[in-house]
Amino acid sequence: MTQPANPKHYGITSPISMALPKQSDLVQTQKLVQALKPFGVFEEELELQRRILVLGKLNTLVKEWIQEISTSKNIPPSLIENIGGKICTFGSYRLGVHTKGADIDALCVAPRHVDRSDFFTSFYEKLKEQEEVKDLRAVEEAFVPVIKLCFDSIEIDILFARLALQTIPENLDLRDDNLLRNLDIRCIRSLNGCRVTDEILHLVPNIENFRLTLRAIKLWAKRRNIYSNILGFLGGVSWAMLVARTCQLYPNAVASTLVYKFFLVFSNWEWPNPVLLKQPVECNLNLPVWDPRVTPSDRYHLMPIITPAYPQQNSTYNVSVSTRNVMVEEFKQGLAIMDEILQNKADWSKLFEAPNFFQKYKHYIVLLASAPTEKQHLEWVGLVESKIRILVGSLEKNEFITLAHVNPQSFPGPKEDNKTPEFSTMWVIGVEFRKMEGSELLNVDLTFDIQSFTDTVYRQAVSSKMFESDMKIMVMHVKRKRLHQLLPDLVIPKRRKNSTEGLRVVNEGSVDLSLDSDNSMSMPSPTGISSATRTPFSASPHRSTGTSSDSQGKTDTSGSTCSAAACVSESKSSSGSSPPRAHRRSGSPLHDENAKKHKHQEVHPQEEMDTSVDTCAAAVCPSEMKTLSPGTSPGSPLHDEQATKLRLEEESAPDSVDQTAEFSQASDFTALDGDVKMETQAAESDADWKIPVSQKLSSSDLSEVVLPPPNHVQVVKNSIKLRLSR
């Protein structure tokens, strides 16, 4: 092999190395391919052909529909025959890195006389007539309007863009910036996905090396729990741009070398310097672009990765201090593992080992969202998950917290016995606290952080008119040794002894989970095991922390009430489509909390009426999380993970931090050293709703009263307090 005399220049800088691959690099690349196969990242040829066939049928439907619309709008027959129209793909499918069962992101491109209203009416009806189409639904009011459907068992999201052209030629290049002229903002947003994807493919020196490297990095990111744009990590397009930049810097390298260079480059990257695939171009179309010199808010982005197509945007605006720190640390660990692999001291499988997230921290915040029906639950989840990053941002600003690490994977909530069936979802946030010198006790108040998060969710729910009664959020502080009482057996095996300390609750409403192909994690596991069976990563325990809160404000409006401990939902059998059922047991944190609540209600019935809680919700449709049968064979990646997890569980030492926590609606609290007290003072009395705010609050409390939301949803401030003994 000889090096080209005048190689094409890629990227905004010269390459770091033009070295050609050695034989050892090619051998390592083959080993990488073999290591990826058990995780299902490669689609079989038969399935790929079926996708191509489905897209062909969809493309034919689009052309037929546009001709029908053209006829109804009196377009001359001579033009109708060549009017055009087409389906373009983007995202992981267009990049060529989609996995088994992944959905397809598509764009319907139409000429200027076809309106968006036609797309959501006549084309929607045409799709409804197709036998192969199932689960058809339109989301016309979304930020990027979309029609979702399942075509011959393949999930497809279709966006719409009307170009200012009389006809749509087959060889249309959507990268042409002039196509954006005279378009409305929704069409520009819809076009952006295709334009960015096409630019990325044109900006890498070797597409096949890029694709294999990206498959490896995406799997690694999902296994390490850092693949989720909506939760403040990176989504698919951001990972693709980082890999593309690595390919530009090492244009002749093969995948095994590129994976190593990826970790080398970005473990040493000086953030917030932006990652750019090409120099931004100004098209004078007056569209907002990422430019910290012009836009002050852009200067505060922590990990900017800039899309290569006009208008250039930062794809990582959700990244927070904590999520960036977590990702940079993972880059460094990845680099260390790659050093071992390239020195033949470790296999590629080590790079894709799942971390023990539930052993990494000593303290966790658990969010639990519940709703009475599956449909409401799915709607409620999307909103709450989209706002979790707000809670993470608030926790980061607390002077005693150094890190708030949210796990992108969600879990079904525990089921309370003898209760009306509910559907619920949990998220877990690991928390690190600052080490305080010379202090025996540490009191941390997280009330404001929790309240800001729940207030935001409620306001969004009310304004979007998606609220339904009995949608609830519960927020709990849980010590590491008690997580096994809330999470499924497949995640954390139950301990032989149930600990009786370490959990506390804040009831703010209801939360739920949404899974999305790019934003949320549906992590591939070896031998067909679902994401719910992932094994956490082991790390040294960190210092524990606590929370405390003082004053609470209350707004009284008519609505439905919900207790703090009532938002739990049934999880399905482990042999079915979701993890095993986790019932609330005597001695468990939620059981103890319920018992104390009912005892308190008997002693102080009037006080309970005055603290009745109501919640509100909003909706975004999430996809369903599935769990397959957990059968594994010795020697498989999952078998090794489970063995490691069980060993870590046996070796983990009990927590040594004494703490006091109290959940209460009052402005004062009593600390109980060495134990945790949880109380929820929420009543389910209709009489309380009829009491005016002026009669329920003293004059000193009026400053805390917020104007009632327009649909009469109660909002009650709650407290979480912990006292930590050093």
- Which of the residues 10, 25, 93, 103 is marked catalytic? 103
Q: Which residues are annotated as a binding site for Mg(2+)?
A: 103, 105, 157
Residue 10 bears catalytic tag: no
Closest CA to 613 of 694, 701, 552, 668: 552
Picking from 467, 366, 468, 417, the residue whose alpha carbon sits closest to that of residue 570 is 417
| Integer Cα distance of 525 and 223 in angstroms | 8
CB atoms within 10 A of CB 698: 7
Active site residue 105: yes
Nearest to 547 by CA among 700, 368, 394, 410: 394
Q: Which residues pair with 294 in a beta bridge?
A: none
- 472, 566 contact by CB (below 8 A): yes
**What is the distance of C-alpha 302 from the center of its chain?**
18
> Is 124 an active-site residue?
no
- Distances in Å between the Cα of 386 and the Cα atoms of 71, 137, 380, 505, 511 are 43, 21, 10, 22, 10
- Quote the CA–CA distance of 338 and 345 in Å, as a whole number: 10
Known binding site: residues? Answer: 90-92, 99, 103-105, 157, 218, 227, 236-237
Distances (CA, A) of 611 to 53, 694, 697: 59, 14, 11
Alpha helices in 343-428 (DSSP H): 357-360, 374-397
Active site residue 92: yes
Q: Which of 10, 227, 361, 458 is catalytic?
A: 227
**Chain centre to alpha carbon of residue 146:** 19
Annotated binding site for ATP: 90-92, 99, 103-105, 157, 218, 227, 236-237
Active site residue 445: no
Q: Does the active-site annotation cover 347?
A: no
Q: Tokens 């003994």 sit at which residue?
A: 725
At 368 the three-state DSSP class reads strand
Token duo for residue 104: 């397809």
Q: Which of 93, 218, 449, 612 is catalytic?
A: 218
Sign of the C-alpha dihedral computed for residues 302, 355, 238 and 235 taken in this order:
negative
Catalytic residues: 92, 103, 105, 157, 218, 227
